[in-house]
Structure 1
């Protein structure tokens, strides 16, 4: 285990990865999200970027001149900017790998090997390293020919085709569900591997592809499609296995009613004062309502059009029916539940959505803000054993880039 040097980390109630160094050669969203999680669990994550920075730094919108995405995905990490098109930059990368506990990389197939930091080379230099490969479709012959991003994987796996309303074009799930889900799987994989190692189980190499995450998200639908050969129907805001279980239109706005059981269905009938629906053969069972979702939607919408959303929410809640107003994100982020849950945590004055854990009643604080490009380049080189003359030469050649504002560019 490599000792971690402190970098202004804030104390937190749960730091299981304290003392673990992670060399992060991933880019964009999935890998950086994984290492952000691990950083806030105590790991010393060193984010390796090209001289112009990770693409995520350029994604709008911006706060204080920095991409909001980078504020989030880069938080808790240190940053070194390396030109891996130079031999000196490659040598620094190899030195970093040799002195890390975990390596995560998402380069195109074959690139890590060419740079001398592939799994075999990394484990030869550092037998105890945990090496993690991230790709879109895997490292097999077919996967290597299919680079991809979140929406491409959504398209490939049928997620786009099963999302949206009937008659609409293929629809992307708006959040980057595949990238973010993959980041969570990677973080869990690293934690699981560390736990396994602590119990004497040998784990050296992990591999997750975006396509694996996508199929895990539609797992039961995928099984049904493979067995039946049938495409899942589009359900709009609902679910094909239950009704009423979707958005409906009241007089002034939309609300979502979730009543997947017979008990809740009868409660809906009472709330909307429509006892005839309970005895209608089209709606008398869960299966019947699912088969006749469109007819049920028409009936409920006609009734809800008589009153405003707030009135209906009160009536549904009085009967114990799960219900919510459909609101915009700008409304959700200022809601009372956000205040109650402490959803946002400040990082250098920027409100970021915290990790979804409360530990003994407390949330995990952000350990540090997202780094500027090359902010810790010189600091990290010193830790790797580079002396002042070597650091000065690397800076002069452009093999490394260091942030002037960080006051670390002086090799002395």
Structure 2
């Protein structure tokens, strides 16, 4: 029987990527993971991320995480001849990704309306902080200020006991979410093009991406809850912390039995979901009385064996060694001039195709426009 060799699902598609930093580039990297040819247009200085730590021999692994698999072309969009070549390149493309402020691409004549005249099947994805239109569209945006203005940071503060100001912003939720929504929108547009023969313009905002992260809080802001939802907190162990989630009645009863405290099941403070909601701090204190006598690994092992949702707190370095993640091939080794390192793969597998990072990182200007025309 002939064996089928899986291919990458988006093989044969061409992407021209004008984006920098994280949100746009992560979307185009995902498209590369799925098989598309991604041509990254950079200025002579290169994407700012090329200079960002961690660095080895001047090569940024942060840049590689977000941009592996792409082909770097240096192009000065203010040079009329080079701009004409860029437009010719886009005529051969299926997808354009950009994350300039609204209006910048229009000034270069690289807006969707202009480009789709000669390439009606073009899918054009614009990623911005607040969207392409509206009273806030022109505001400068990074993930951190979007987190603040979306309500995300004050929502997190509301659920903390020991903080008196919003937490320092170091994880770029807005960028990653926008990249994922952009990928979803691009693939939806590709499906639509199969039926209509025409491409379309996609407008993705970081702000709306973060608001979508908070379904409960969007509703609770409109209809304040009489009883606050339970806030699951770390339980201290002999060597760190675990998080335990006795969310349903069944979860709670399994927790009580696994810890040897069957009496919790009939305790009037904890016997029902409503009772636990009303006495949640007491419940957590009671659970911690059990966890604080054991190591994090022991707590996780005992409770997981009893089908109680529980996880010990680990560093990213520890997570990199997780045997389940290794089994899942969650990481891909990529190579640049300075050597090998791991990047994350997309968190899904497909039975009919390969989904993984392309294991190379292009040097700035490694390719020329003429290579693709």
TM-score by length of structure 1 reads 0.81
Tell me the residue number matched to 1:204: 200
Q: How far apart in 2 are the matches of 1:123 and 1:172?
A: 43
Contact 1:56 1:67 in 2 (8 A): yes
- Alpha-carbon separation, structure 1, partners of 2:122 and 2:322: 44
Q: In the alignment, does 2:276 pair up with 1:289?
A: yes
CA distance, structure 2, for counterparts of residue 42 and residue 310 of structure 1: 40
Select which of 107, 130, 144 maps to 2:123. 130
Query: Structure 2 vs 1, CA of residues 319 and 42 (structure 1 numbering), >3 Å: closer, same or farther?
Result: closer
Deviation string for 1:365-405 (max 9, x for gaps)? 4334121111112xx32433xxxxxxxxxxxxxxxxxxxxx
Does structure 2 retain, via aligned residues, the 8 Å contact 1:154–1:172?
A: no
Q: Unpaired segments of 5 or more residues in structure 1?
A: 1-10, 234-239, 385-412
- CA 118–153 in structure 1, closer or farther in 2 if over 3 Å, else same: same
For 1:272, the equivalent position in structure 2 comes to 259
What SS is found at the alignment partner of 1:161?
helix
Give, in whole Å, the separation in 2 of the partners of 1:312 and 1:101. Answer: 51
- Per the alignment, residue 13 of structure 2 pairs with 20
C-alpha displacement of 1:201: 6.6
Q: How does 1:12-91 map to 2 (within 5 A)?
A: 13-91=6-84
CA distance change for structure 1 residues 307 and 99 in 2, over 3 Å: closer, same or farther?
closer
Shift of residue 35, structure 1, vs aligned partner? 0.6
Q: 1:215 aligns with which of 187, 211, 214?
A: 211
The runs of 4+ residues in structure 1 deviating greater than 4 Å are none
Residues 373 and 318 (structure 1), Cα distance of their counterparts in 2 relative to 1, 3 Å cut: closer
Q: How far, CA to CA, are the matches of 1:41 and 1:316 in structure 2? A: 37
Measure how far apart 1:48 and its partner are.
0.8
CA distance in 2, matches of 1:12, 1:355: 20
| From 216, 221, 234, the counterpart of 1:247 | 234
1:251-296 Cα deviation digits (max 9, x unpaired)? 2221121221111111222233334433333322223323322222
- For residue 101 of structure 1, the aligned residue among 61, 74, 94 is 94
- Contact kept? 1:242, 1:287, Cα under 8 Å: no
Aligned-partner SS, 2:40: strand
Shift of 1:242: 4.5
Choose from 287, 304, 327 the match for 2:314: 327
Shift of 1:117: 0.4
Deviation of the 1:185 alpha carbon: 1.2
- Alignment partner of 1:311 is 2:304: no
Paired with 1:312 and 1:383, the residues of 2 have a C-alpha distance of 57
Contact 1:105 1:134 in 2 (8 A): yes
Check conservation: 2:122, 2:198, Cα contact below 8 A. no
TM-aligned CA distance change 1:297 to 1:361, over 3 Å: farther
Alignment of structure 1 residues 127-166 onto 2, 5 Å: 127-164=120-157, 165-166=160-161
Which structure 2 segments of 5+ residues have no match? Answer: none
SS state of the match for residue 359, structure 1? coil
Counterpart of 1:352 in structure 2 is: 343
Partner of 2:243: 256
State how many pairs are aligned.
363
2:370 to 364, 367, 381: 381
Structure 1 window deviating more from structure 2 (360-369 vs 203-212): it is 360-369
- 2:51–2:58 Cα contact (<8 Å) kept: no
C-alpha spacing 1:246/1:363, structure 2 compared with 1 (3 Å): farther
Q: Give the Cα separation in 2 of the matches to 1:39 and 1:365.
A: 9
Q: Shift of residue 332 of structure 1?
A: 1.2
In structure 2, relative to structure 1, the CA distance for the partners of 1:131 and 1:265 (3 Å cut) is same
Query: TM-score if structure 2 supplies the norm length?
Result: 0.89
